[in-house]
Each structure stands twice: as C-alpha cells, then as structure tokens.
Amino acid sequence: METALKDLVGLSRDALAAEMKAMGAEPFRARQVWHWIYNRGATDIAAMTTLSKSFRADLAQRYRVGRPAVARALTSVDGTRKWLLRFPDGQEVECVHIPEEDRGTLCVSSQVGCTLTCKFCHTGTQRLVRNLTPGEIVGQVMLARDRLGDWSGGLAPQGAPEAGGAPKEGGRLITNVVMMGMGEPLYNFEAVRDALLIVADNEGIGISKRRITLSTSGVVPNIARAGAEIGVMLAISLHAVRDELRNELVPLNRKYPIKELLDACRNYPGLTNAKRITFEYVMLKGVNDSLADAKALVKLLKGIPAKINLIPFNPWPGSRYECSEWEQIEKFSEYVFSAGYSSPVRTPRGRDILAACGQLKSATEKLSARERMALRAMAMTD
C-alpha cells in the first residue's frame, strides 16, 4: 500500500545514508539516491537508472519520493504564481513564486498558521494548526521546481509544467528562497534547519546560503542558533522603531523588545557590507510611516550592516490598517536612502491572486466565490 511507504524527501544526508546502510547498500548508493532526488527531481524510483534494477526494486518496496498535492494553482497577470498545497492530513499552506528579470524567488511556508498575532498579518488571524516537517518544507521547493520545469539534467518534470518564460541563458527559475510564507520559522527551528540545509546542499537543490533568507518576527534566542546551525541570510520583521508601537504591531516584542532584538542582530555571524541583515518595514498609513519614524529607524540601525525593505501593506478583508500613500512611501524611502541605506520598496506582486502571507488560504476558507471575485477585481485595479 502506498501510504505505508516511507517518504525519502526531507531526510538529512546522514539519515538517508543510515536508511541505505540498513538496506545493506554501499555508502555511495546514498549519494546517488540523494542526487536523483534533489538534483534531478526524480519522483519515480524506477527512473533512477544509475542504480541496479534489483536495488531500485528493493527501494520501491520500502520508500517513495513524495510531493505535496496542489489544491489550487493561480497565476497573476504579472507572472507571480501561487500554489495552495495540501498535505495528507488535509492541512494546507501556500507557496509563491515571483519571477523577476534576473532572479526567481520562491516564498516558502514553515507552519500551518502561526502562533503569533501580528496585527497587520492575515496568517496571524489563523490559529496554528501544526509545524511543517522538513519534508513538507523542502517539498515546497521541489513541487515548485516540478511545476516550473526547473530541474537540472532535463528529466521530465512530473505533470505538465505550468511554466511560461524559459530560464534566461540557462539560468534557473528558482534562484532564491525566502522563508516568508506562513508561520514563524524560528518557532519550528529543527525542521526549518534540516530543510534549508537540503536546499543549500550543493549536491542537492544547490541554492547557495547567500540566496536563502530566513525572516523572523524576532525570536531572539533562536537568532544566534540560526546563525550557528543554518547560516543563511537573516531578515527581521521590524515594522516599528519604538517598543510601544512594536508591542502592538508585533506582540512578540513584549517578550523580546527592540534592544534585545538588535543586539542579537549585531552578533549574527558573518555580517559584512556584502552580507547584511534585511530589516522589513511594512508601511502602514498614519501608524509608522512618518519622516520622524524614518529618522529613528536610521538611528536605530546604526552600526549594523543592514538593508531596509519597505513593504507596502497588503490589505486583507477585515484588516484594520491601510497602506501608506505612495508619496509618503517615497519620502520615507528617500530619507533612508540619503542616510546610506539601499531601501528598495518591495513592489507589490501578485495582488490579483492575494499573494501576500496567508491570504489565499484565508480567502478560500472564509469568503464566498462572489466576495473572492470582488476582492480580486479590486486588487487588480490597484
């Protein structure tokens, strides 16, 4: 029975080696299997042709190479793709691909829902159902590679790729991974770590740690741990420069206030001008978007190799905030830029498919089809 088979996706290299050893296979077999799974994207054990037929048959009796099921797939007018993924227990998360000229970014989820309750975030209104497993996290990257036709070695992806746009000059469609989907990655530390080490493995998915970003709302004790055990780029959801306001927007701030958070950032290993921490700052009209806030922000980050990422607030049904006026975002951005920070304003992508954090899932759960269409129509005229 297929459900009795153990999924190989998400096992660390060592765990995979142990499984293969238990089957009596030579150590290099584990390496070959790893290559088929993570470099070639094979999901059919029978297609792993560098392995002997009898070994493949043995493997197929015990294991499978799984993928999350796609409950819904949407493509935005700007090419952004969003998949609502469903796991065997019926739980769902989102995964978003954002194609740009010189890169393709995949936004990956770490939990079903979130225990934190940031006031501007839709995921924060959904109660946490559970942590994702390493296989479910790395599986998002693999599913996206399938759908985009983005595996190396020309192995036909499972199912027809939805891909338009071929990769540029042999480039890849997924060049960057950001842990910015649903959930707080540092509250699912081990699974996120194990998954990201597979994503970064250069004999596996092979996306360099410099191109993987973990975004946290500020789980201070796990920031140092992330530096030591994962070593990817860090993004901090700052959003406010005073504790009073941040307590309200990001309630975790009551536990880990701004000063402690920034101290943890200063100690993050390997920071240089070429390897900076990204500070995310969602622009909320009349709440955190004044020029005084911009000045305080620059002062606060002094001495930390930092990038500032201004995010236009993406409203959702029932949200209590509005996005700042465009001129205000520009003013804010100009100040920050003149102080020496590059401050790209994150272009809203995929608004017509509600591509921001947690929005598709909630929309499909809570809205009628008509409301959903109205909302999409609204977002499209933005």
Catalytic (active-site) positions: 94, 357
Closest separation in Å from C-beta 128 to ligand SF4: 9
Helix/strand/coil for 74: strand
Task: Select the binding partner of residue 314 from ligand SAH, ligand SF4, none (C-beta < 5 to 8 A, by kind).
Answer: ligand SAH
Residue 236 as a binder of ligand SF4 (CB under 6 A): the answer is: no
* 235: nearest Cα among 307, 132, 299: 307
In the window 264-303, what residues touch ligand SAH (CB under 6 A)? 280, 282
Closest separation in Å from C-beta 302 to ligand SAH: 21
CB neighbours of residue 60 within 10 Å: 15
Closest separation in Å from C-beta 258 to ligand SF4: 16
Closest separation in Å from C-beta 91 to ligand SF4: 16
Nearer to ligand SAH, 45 or 96 (CB): 96
DSSP annotation string for 94-109: EEEEEE-SS-EEEE--
Strands 212-216, 176-179: pairing kind: parallel
Residue 133 as a binder of ligand SAH (CB under 6 A): the answer is: no
Cβ atoms of residues 82 and 353 within 8 Å? yes
Task: Select the binding partner of residue 311 from ligand SF4, ligand SAH, none (C-beta < 5 to 8 A, by kind).
Answer: ligand SAH
* 65: nearest Cα among 29, 95, 35, 41: 41
Closest separation in Å from C-beta 343 to ligand SAH: 15
**161, burial (CB in 10 Å: exposed 0-12, middle 13-18, buried 19+):** middle
Alpha helices by DSSP H, the chain: 13-22, 27-34, 53-62, 134-148, 189-200, 220-229, 243-249, 258-266, 291-300, 326-338, 359-366, 369-380
Residue 280 as a binder of ligand SF4 (CB under 6 A): the answer is: no
CA distance 43 to 88: 17
In the window 176-205, what residues touch ligand SF4 (CB under 6 A)? 183-184
Which of 48, 108, 241, 357 binds ligand SF4 (CB under 6 A)? It is: 357
Over its C-alpha atoms, the chain yields an Rg (Å, rounded) of 21
Which of 121, 232, 264, 329 binds ligand SF4 (CB under 6 A)? It is: 121
Nearer to ligand SF4, 48 or 93 (CB): 93
In the window 34-93, what residues touch ligand SAH (CB under 6 A)? none
Task: Select the binding partner of residue 19 from ligand SAH, ligand SF4, none (C-beta < 5 to 8 A, by kind).
Answer: none
CA distance 131 to 88: 14
Which of 80, 237, 253, 333 binds ligand SAH (CB under 6 A)? It is: 237
CB neighbours of residue 138 within 10 Å: 28
Token code pair at residue 7: 């999924």
Which of 38, 151, 268, 313 binds ligand SAH (CB under 6 A)? It is: 313
Residue 126 as a binder of ligand SAH (CB under 6 A): the answer is: no
Chain residues in the site for ligand SAH (CB under 6 A):
118, 120-122, 180, 184, 215-217, 237, 280, 282, 311, 313-314, 316, 356-357
For ligand SF4, the binding residues (CB under 6 A) are 114, 116-118, 121, 123-124, 183-184, 217, 237, 357
